[in-house]
Each structure stands twice: as C-alpha cells, then as structure tokens.
Amino acid sequence: MNLASNILLETPLVHGWLRVERIGIQNMMLDLVTDSAGMAEAWEDAFRGYKGVAVHCCDFRTFIEQQPEVDAVVSPANSYGLMDGNYDLAITDKYGPELAERVRAVIMERFYGEQPVGTSFSVPIPGHEDILLIHTPTMRVPTPIVDPLVVYQCMRTTLIEAMRTSRQRIVVPAFGGACGFLPFKKIAMLMWEAYLQIAEPPAEITWEYACSRNLEEWYR
C-alpha cells in the first residue's frame, strides 16, 4: 500500500506562517465507536486487515473512560453546533457544556452561524486542552440523510483535520448512523472509501483518476 508519508505543512497564524510536521495516516490510530452491534459488524467487514483501525462496540462514555489516552474526539454534529442529542450529548455529558459553547463560537466567527455539512474544524476541549474535538456536521439539522456521499466527505475532512493537527489517536463515530438513518454497510463502506483515498492519494490529478472514483454511481 502506497501510504502518504509525513510532510511539512505551512499553517497560517495571525502574525505569519508556521511550518509544522503533519502526521500521515499510517501513524494514526482510528477507534471506531458505536453501541450498535450491526454497525460494528459492518465496520469490521469494511476495515478488515487495517492495523490502524479498531472497532469498539460500546457507548462513547464507556470507551473514553477505558481509553483516556486519545488526543482527538469527533462529533458527527449538525451545522449549528447544538450538541444536545445522541452521540453529541454523550460528548458534552463527558466534557461539559463549555465545549459546545466553544464550538458555536467558532461557527459564528468562521462560518457566519452555519457550518457547511461535510466540513471539519477542531477546538481544544475545555479542561483537556491536549485533546481536540473535531466538529464535522453530517446534516444541517437532525433529519434523514438523502445523499449518502455526505458520509464520505465527513470522513475525509475529519481525517484531513486530524492529520493537519498532528493527531495520533482519534475516536470516530458512525457518520449518518443515528438520525441519518443510513444502512450500516453503506456507512462502513463510504468511511472505508474515504480512508483509502487519504491513504493512497493520486500521484497527479487527471480525469482518468477522477472518473475512477465514481462513488456517485456505486453508492447511491
């Protein structure tokens, strides 16, 4: 497998540029966490043989209490940072309401009050500043997902943000798996497609490569 190597990334700061080392995906551990046996089984099938991915069938709080050494937690979220339901509620129950307030402040400042679906940004978790929350909305407001490729985009931008911020172990939920009402197998395969694309990027961008990634036909 031609995994992407570590590269130097120029990161913009308020007063200039900082060159920092960006961690490649081969140096990252993904913990896929769900309390659904069906989702866990679908992940196991999709990511079989990938040493950098582990599947855990338990609730978020149980996992985080048993595995406190993670350095990033992913929120599947909505566009407004209202973290009061399902998986997001478990995150705020663990880390406190100030976390959601911090997320909404970024959405107000950076996205004019509404973060686009499928984008990602990160904020330090209050009281646990060495751990980042990666906020990746799967939907504008809680509603069934019409376009399953949202899952692919969410997984891709999450991984890109994790690499950009040099995360080494991140907790990832099932994008679209709660009120998104997408089939478990489709979620798992689209998350795998995103992982594979990041792990094996093209040597150059061509129409041949673009057409070879015909996810619209495969997964809709």
133 pLDDT above the threshold of 50: yes
Work out the average pLDDT over 48-75.
96
Domain ranges of the chain: 7-219
**Among the listed residues 103, 82, 75, 26, the one whose alpha carbon sits nearest the alpha carbon of residue 174:** 75
3-class state of residue 111 by DSSP: helix
**Does the pTM exceed 0.85?**
yes
Q: What is the pLDDT of residue 161?
A: 98
Cα distance between residue 71 and residue 181, in whole Å? 29
12 pLDDT above the threshold of 80: no
Instruction: Convert the pLDDT of each residue in 138-187 to its tens digit.
Output: 999 999 999 999 999 999 999 999 999 999 999 999 999 988 899 999 99
68 pLDDT above the threshold of 90: no
- Contact yes or no for 190/215 (Cβ under 8 A): yes
220: pLDDT confidence band, cut at 50, 70 and 90? confident
Return the structure tokens found at 136: 């990746």
Sign of the dihedral defined by the CA atoms of residues 15, 16, 20, 25, in that order: positive
Cα distance between residue 220 and residue 215, in whole Å? 8
22: pLDDT confidence band, cut at 50, 70 and 90? low
Q: What percent of the chain has pLDDT over 90?
A: 83
Task: Look at the chain and count its residues.
Answer: 220
CATH classification of 7-219 is 3.40.220.10, yes or no? yes
